[in-house]
Amino acid sequence: MNKVWKRTYTYYFLLPAAIIYLVIFILPTFMSFFFSMTRWTLQDWTFTGLQNFKTFFYESSLNIGFKNTFVYAVVTCGLKVVFGLLLGVFLTSKIRTKNYLRSVVFFPTLVSTIAVGIAFSTLMHPTEGLINTTLASLGISGPDWLGDTRIALLSVAFVDVWKGVGFATVIYIAGIMSIPEDYYEALQIDGGNSWNKFWNIILPLSRSATNTVIILAFIGGLRSFDILWPMTRGGPGFATDVIASIIYKQYQAGFYGLATAGNVILFLFVSLLAFPLSLYLNRKEVDL
Protein backbone atom coordinates (compact mmCIF):
# COMPACT_ATOMS: atom_id res chain seq x y z
CA MET A 1 0.00 0.00 0.00
CA ASN A 2 2.68 2.40 1.08
CA LYS A 3 4.68 1.48 -1.93
CA VAL A 4 1.79 2.29 -4.23
CA TRP A 5 1.32 5.66 -2.58
CA LYS A 6 4.96 6.47 -2.97
CA ARG A 7 4.88 5.63 -6.61
CA THR A 8 1.65 7.30 -7.66
CA TYR A 9 0.82 10.97 -7.58
CA THR A 10 -2.06 12.23 -5.54
CA TYR A 11 -5.22 13.09 -7.42
CA TYR A 12 -4.95 16.66 -6.20
CA PHE A 13 -2.45 17.20 -8.97
CA LEU A 14 -5.35 16.91 -11.38
CA LEU A 15 -7.25 19.67 -9.69
CA PRO A 16 -5.85 22.75 -11.49
CA ALA A 17 -6.38 21.20 -14.89
CA ALA A 18 -9.79 19.90 -13.88
CA ILE A 19 -10.93 23.31 -12.65
CA ILE A 20 -9.75 25.07 -15.78
CA TYR A 21 -11.38 22.44 -17.97
CA LEU A 22 -14.62 22.69 -15.99
CA VAL A 23 -14.79 26.48 -15.97
CA ILE A 24 -13.77 27.25 -19.50
CA PHE A 25 -15.04 24.19 -21.31
CA ILE A 26 -17.67 22.03 -19.59
CA LEU A 27 -19.60 24.89 -18.01
CA PRO A 28 -19.90 27.05 -21.16
CA THR A 29 -20.89 23.98 -23.15
CA PHE A 30 -23.85 23.25 -20.91
CA MET A 31 -24.70 26.93 -20.61
CA SER A 32 -24.77 27.18 -24.39
CA PHE A 33 -27.26 24.30 -24.56
CA PHE A 34 -29.47 26.30 -22.24
CA PHE A 35 -29.03 29.71 -23.87
CA SER A 36 -29.68 28.23 -27.31
CA MET A 37 -33.28 27.88 -26.13
CA THR A 38 -33.68 31.51 -25.09
CA ARG A 39 -33.95 34.97 -26.50
CA TRP A 40 -30.83 36.39 -24.95
CA THR A 41 -29.45 39.96 -24.74
CA LEU A 42 -26.41 38.92 -22.62
CA GLN A 43 -28.07 40.76 -19.74
CA ASP A 44 -31.37 38.98 -19.53
CA TRP A 45 -33.08 36.12 -21.28
CA THR A 46 -36.52 34.78 -22.09
CA PHE A 47 -37.08 31.08 -22.54
CA THR A 48 -38.40 30.31 -26.03
CA GLY A 49 -38.07 26.53 -26.27
CA LEU A 50 -36.95 25.26 -29.66
CA GLN A 51 -37.97 28.43 -31.51
CA ASN A 52 -34.34 29.42 -32.19
CA PHE A 53 -33.58 26.10 -33.85
CA LYS A 54 -36.68 26.47 -35.98
CA THR A 55 -35.66 30.01 -36.98
CA PHE A 56 -32.13 28.92 -37.71
CA PHE A 57 -33.26 26.10 -39.97
CA TYR A 58 -35.52 28.56 -41.79
CA GLU A 59 -32.53 30.88 -42.29
CA SER A 60 -32.58 31.53 -46.02
CA SER A 61 -28.91 30.87 -46.60
CA LEU A 62 -28.63 27.84 -44.33
CA ASN A 63 -29.04 25.21 -47.02
CA ILE A 64 -26.24 26.74 -49.03
CA GLY A 65 -24.31 27.07 -45.76
CA PHE A 66 -24.43 23.32 -45.03
CA LYS A 67 -23.45 22.53 -48.58
CA ASN A 68 -20.61 25.07 -48.64
CA THR A 69 -19.29 23.91 -45.28
CA PHE A 70 -19.14 20.31 -46.46
CA VAL A 71 -17.61 21.16 -49.85
CA TYR A 72 -15.07 23.46 -48.22
CA ALA A 73 -14.05 20.84 -45.64
CA VAL A 74 -13.70 18.07 -48.24
CA VAL A 75 -11.76 20.22 -50.72
CA THR A 76 -9.33 21.71 -48.21
CA CYS A 77 -8.85 18.40 -46.41
CA GLY A 78 -8.26 16.48 -49.64
CA LEU A 79 -5.76 18.98 -51.04
CA LYS A 80 -3.90 19.22 -47.75
CA VAL A 81 -3.50 15.43 -47.65
CA VAL A 82 -2.26 15.22 -51.23
CA PHE A 83 0.10 18.20 -51.13
CA GLY A 84 1.17 17.51 -47.55
CA LEU A 85 2.16 13.95 -48.45
CA LEU A 86 4.00 14.94 -51.62
CA LEU A 87 5.86 17.75 -49.88
CA GLY A 88 6.58 15.44 -46.94
CA VAL A 89 8.13 12.83 -49.23
CA PHE A 90 10.09 15.50 -51.06
CA LEU A 91 11.39 17.13 -47.90
CA THR A 92 12.53 13.82 -46.35
CA SER A 93 14.46 12.82 -49.48
CA LYS A 94 18.15 13.51 -49.92
CA ILE A 95 18.14 17.13 -51.07
CA ARG A 96 20.60 19.84 -50.15
CA THR A 97 18.47 22.75 -48.99
CA LYS A 98 16.16 20.52 -46.96
CA ASN A 99 16.05 22.64 -43.82
CA TYR A 100 15.57 25.85 -45.71
CA LEU A 101 12.75 24.41 -47.81
CA ARG A 102 11.06 22.98 -44.73
CA SER A 103 10.99 26.49 -43.22
CA VAL A 104 9.63 27.93 -46.45
CA VAL A 105 6.80 25.41 -46.56
CA PHE A 106 5.95 25.94 -42.91
CA PHE A 107 6.16 29.72 -43.05
CA PRO A 108 2.55 30.50 -44.16
CA THR A 109 1.31 28.70 -41.04
CA LEU A 110 2.99 31.33 -38.90
CA VAL A 111 1.35 34.34 -40.56
CA SER A 112 -1.83 35.83 -39.11
CA THR A 113 -4.85 34.34 -40.85
CA ILE A 114 -6.62 37.71 -41.13
CA ALA A 115 -3.52 39.23 -42.74
CA VAL A 116 -3.38 36.34 -45.23
CA GLY A 117 -7.06 36.85 -46.04
CA ILE A 118 -6.66 40.57 -46.64
CA ALA A 119 -3.49 40.08 -48.69
CA PHE A 120 -5.09 37.45 -50.92
CA SER A 121 -8.28 39.43 -51.44
CA THR A 122 -6.05 42.24 -52.74
CA LEU A 123 -4.12 39.82 -54.95
CA MET A 124 -7.39 38.42 -56.28
CA HIS A 125 -8.91 41.81 -57.18
CA PRO A 126 -10.44 41.27 -60.65
CA THR A 127 -8.82 44.26 -62.40
CA GLU A 128 -6.00 45.55 -60.20
CA GLY A 129 -4.93 42.37 -58.37
CA LEU A 130 -1.52 40.88 -59.02
CA ILE A 131 -2.95 37.53 -60.13
CA ASN A 132 -5.15 38.93 -62.87
CA THR A 133 -2.67 41.56 -64.03
CA THR A 134 -0.09 38.79 -64.41
CA LEU A 135 -2.58 36.66 -66.31
CA ALA A 136 -3.49 39.66 -68.46
CA SER A 137 0.16 40.19 -69.42
CA LEU A 138 0.13 36.58 -70.66
CA GLY A 139 -2.98 37.33 -72.66
CA ILE A 140 -5.38 35.48 -70.37
CA SER A 141 -8.32 37.29 -68.89
CA GLY A 142 -8.62 36.00 -65.36
CA PRO A 143 -11.95 35.46 -63.64
CA ASP A 144 -13.28 37.52 -60.73
CA TRP A 145 -11.88 35.13 -58.13
CA LEU A 146 -13.96 36.29 -55.20
CA GLY A 147 -16.86 37.96 -57.04
CA ASP A 148 -17.91 35.08 -59.27
CA THR A 149 -20.28 33.02 -57.15
CA ARG A 150 -19.24 29.79 -58.89
CA ILE A 151 -15.58 29.93 -57.92
CA ALA A 152 -15.46 32.25 -54.89
CA LEU A 153 -15.60 29.39 -52.38
CA LEU A 154 -12.87 27.48 -54.19
CA SER A 155 -10.66 30.60 -54.23
CA VAL A 156 -10.98 30.83 -50.47
CA ALA A 157 -10.32 27.08 -50.14
CA PHE A 158 -7.17 27.49 -52.19
CA VAL A 159 -5.85 30.15 -49.81
CA ASP A 160 -6.72 27.94 -46.86
CA VAL A 161 -4.70 25.10 -48.41
CA TRP A 162 -1.78 27.44 -49.12
CA LYS A 163 -1.77 28.46 -45.49
CA GLY A 164 -2.47 25.05 -43.95
CA VAL A 165 -0.37 22.71 -46.06
CA GLY A 166 2.80 23.49 -44.09
CA PHE A 167 1.28 22.02 -40.97
CA ALA A 168 0.17 18.88 -42.80
CA THR A 169 3.67 18.58 -44.24
CA VAL A 170 5.27 18.71 -40.81
CA ILE A 171 3.01 15.90 -39.60
CA TYR A 172 3.91 13.85 -42.68
CA ILE A 173 7.64 14.51 -42.21
CA ALA A 174 7.38 13.19 -38.65
CA GLY A 175 5.38 10.19 -39.85
CA ILE A 176 7.77 9.34 -42.68
CA MET A 177 10.89 9.77 -40.53
CA SER A 178 9.52 7.32 -37.96
CA ILE A 179 9.42 4.52 -40.54
CA PRO A 180 12.28 2.13 -39.55
CA GLU A 181 15.22 1.81 -41.99
CA ASP A 182 14.71 -1.97 -42.15
CA TYR A 183 11.88 -1.63 -44.64
CA TYR A 184 14.01 0.36 -47.06
CA GLU A 185 16.85 -2.19 -46.73
CA ALA A 186 14.42 -5.00 -47.44
CA LEU A 187 13.24 -3.10 -50.50
CA GLN A 188 16.78 -2.67 -51.74
CA ILE A 189 17.45 -6.37 -51.36
CA ASP A 190 14.25 -7.14 -53.27
CA GLY A 191 15.30 -4.68 -55.94
CA GLY A 192 12.39 -2.25 -55.70
CA ASN A 193 12.47 1.19 -57.32
CA SER A 194 11.49 4.53 -55.84
CA TRP A 195 7.86 4.12 -56.94
CA ASN A 196 7.71 0.88 -54.91
CA LYS A 197 9.28 2.74 -52.04
CA PHE A 198 6.53 5.33 -52.11
CA TRP A 199 3.60 3.06 -52.87
CA ASN A 200 4.48 0.01 -50.76
CA ILE A 201 6.31 1.53 -47.80
CA ILE A 202 5.77 5.24 -47.27
CA LEU A 203 2.09 5.43 -48.14
CA PRO A 204 0.88 2.51 -45.98
CA LEU A 205 3.29 3.14 -43.11
CA SER A 206 2.54 6.85 -42.78
CA ARG A 207 -1.10 5.94 -42.31
CA SER A 208 -1.25 7.39 -38.79
CA ALA A 209 0.06 10.70 -40.11
CA THR A 210 -2.57 10.62 -42.86
CA ASN A 211 -5.29 9.99 -40.30
CA THR A 212 -4.12 12.88 -38.14
CA VAL A 213 -4.01 15.22 -41.11
CA ILE A 214 -7.44 14.15 -42.35
CA ILE A 215 -9.10 14.55 -38.96
CA LEU A 216 -7.47 17.90 -38.18
CA ALA A 217 -8.00 19.36 -41.64
CA PHE A 218 -11.55 18.07 -41.91
CA ILE A 219 -12.67 19.44 -38.53
CA GLY A 220 -10.78 22.66 -39.24
CA GLY A 221 -12.55 22.94 -42.58
CA LEU A 222 -15.99 22.32 -41.08
CA ARG A 223 -15.69 25.15 -38.61
CA SER A 224 -13.57 27.38 -40.83
CA PHE A 225 -14.29 31.06 -40.56
CA ASP A 226 -11.20 33.17 -40.00
CA ILE A 227 -9.88 33.07 -43.55
CA LEU A 228 -13.26 33.28 -45.22
CA TRP A 229 -14.48 36.36 -43.36
CA PRO A 230 -11.84 38.88 -44.44
CA MET A 231 -11.98 37.56 -48.01
CA THR A 232 -15.69 37.39 -48.83
CA ARG A 233 -17.76 37.91 -45.65
CA GLY A 234 -19.93 35.07 -46.89
CA GLY A 235 -20.66 36.98 -50.09
CA PRO A 236 -21.31 37.95 -52.79
CA GLY A 237 -24.81 37.82 -51.33
CA PHE A 238 -24.91 34.46 -49.55
CA ALA A 239 -22.77 32.55 -52.05
CA THR A 240 -19.88 31.60 -49.76
CA ASP A 241 -21.73 31.45 -46.45
CA VAL A 242 -20.61 28.58 -44.25
CA ILE A 243 -22.30 27.62 -40.99
CA ALA A 244 -19.73 29.54 -38.95
CA SER A 245 -20.21 32.76 -40.93
CA ILE A 246 -23.99 32.47 -40.62
CA ILE A 247 -23.58 32.11 -36.85
CA TYR A 248 -21.25 35.10 -36.76
CA LYS A 249 -23.77 37.24 -38.60
CA GLN A 250 -26.47 36.33 -36.07
CA TYR A 251 -24.12 37.28 -33.28
CA GLN A 252 -23.30 40.54 -35.05
CA ALA A 253 -26.99 41.38 -35.34
CA GLY A 254 -27.29 40.93 -31.57
CA PHE A 255 -29.26 37.66 -31.80
CA TYR A 256 -27.21 35.95 -29.11
CA GLY A 257 -29.69 33.15 -28.37
CA LEU A 258 -30.09 32.39 -32.06
CA ALA A 259 -26.33 32.46 -32.62
CA THR A 260 -25.86 30.05 -29.72
CA ALA A 261 -28.46 27.73 -31.23
CA GLY A 262 -26.39 27.89 -34.42
CA ASN A 263 -23.31 26.89 -32.47
CA VAL A 264 -25.11 23.90 -30.99
CA ILE A 265 -26.13 22.88 -34.50
CA LEU A 266 -22.55 23.30 -35.72
CA PHE A 267 -21.31 21.24 -32.76
CA LEU A 268 -23.69 18.42 -33.65
CA PHE A 269 -22.86 18.69 -37.36
CA VAL A 270 -19.11 18.46 -36.72
CA SER A 271 -19.56 15.61 -34.24
CA LEU A 272 -21.80 13.63 -36.56
CA LEU A 273 -19.23 13.82 -39.34
CA ALA A 274 -15.98 13.72 -37.39
CA PHE A 275 -16.60 10.87 -34.92
CA PRO A 276 -17.57 8.21 -37.48
CA LEU A 277 -14.71 9.37 -39.69
CA SER A 278 -12.25 9.09 -36.84
CA LEU A 279 -13.53 5.62 -35.86
CA TYR A 280 -13.31 4.43 -39.44
CA LEU A 281 -9.79 5.74 -39.96
CA ASN A 282 -8.45 4.37 -36.68
CA ARG A 283 -9.77 0.90 -37.40
CA LYS A 284 -7.68 0.78 -40.56
CA GLU A 285 -4.46 1.85 -38.91
CA VAL A 286 -1.59 -0.66 -38.85
CA ASP A 287 1.34 -1.04 -36.45
CA LEU A 288 4.81 -0.22 -37.64
Partner 1 sequence: MGMSNTGKSKKYVTVLSSALLFAGLLAGCGGSNNNDNASPSVSASQSESASPAETESSKPQEKVTISLLVDNSQDAVSVAKALVDAFQAKNPNITVETETRPAGSEGDNFVKTRLSTGDMNDVFFYNSGSLMQALNPEQNILDVTNEPWEADVIDSFKQTVTFNGKQYGAPTNATMGGGWFYNKKIYAQLGLSVPKTWAELMENNKKIKEAGITAIIGTYKDTWTSQLIMLADYYNVQAEAPNFAADYTANKAKYATTPAALRSFQKLEETVGYMNKDYLAATLDSGIKMLAEGKGAHYPMLTFIIPTIAQNNPEAINDIGFFAQPGDDADKNGVTVWMSPAAYIYKNSQHVEEAKKFLAFIASPEGMAAVGTVSQPTGPYVVKGAAMPDNVPQVVKDMLPYFDSGKTAPALEYVSPIKGPSLEQITVEVGAGKRKAADAAAMYDKDVEKQAQQLGLAGW
Neighbours of 260 (CB within 10 A): 24
Q: Which is nearer to partner 1, 243 or 258 (CB)?
A: 258
267 binds partner 1 (CB under 8 A): no
> Does the footprint of partner 1 cover residue 60 (CB under 8 A)?
yes
Instruction: Please give the Cα distance from 245 to 266 (Å, whole number).
Output: 11
Phi, psi dihedral angles at 270 (to 5 degrees): -65, -45
**Ranges within 5-34 binding partner 1 (CB under 8 A):** none
Task: Kindly determine how many residues on this chain lie close enough to bind partner 1 according to the rule CB under 8 A.
Answer: 35
Compose the 67-106 pattern: x for residues touching partner 1 by CB under 8 A, - for all others: ----------------------------------------
User: Does the footprint of partner 1 cover residue 258 (CB under 8 A)?
Assistant: yes
Q: Do 177 and 102 contact (CB within 8 A), yes or no?
A: no
User: Is residue 130 a contact point for partner 1 (CB under 8 A)?
Assistant: no
Smallest gap from residue 148 Cβ to partner 1 (A): 8
Listed in sequence order, the DSSP H helices in the chain are 2-7, 15-21, 27-35, 51-58, 62-92, 98-110, 113-123, 130-137, 152-177, 181-190, 194-196, 203-205, 207-222, 228-232, 243-252, 256-283
Q: Given the rule CB under 8 A, which residues bind partner 1? A: 39, 41-43, 46, 51, 55, 58-61, 125-129, 144, 146-147, 149, 233-238, 249-255, 257-258
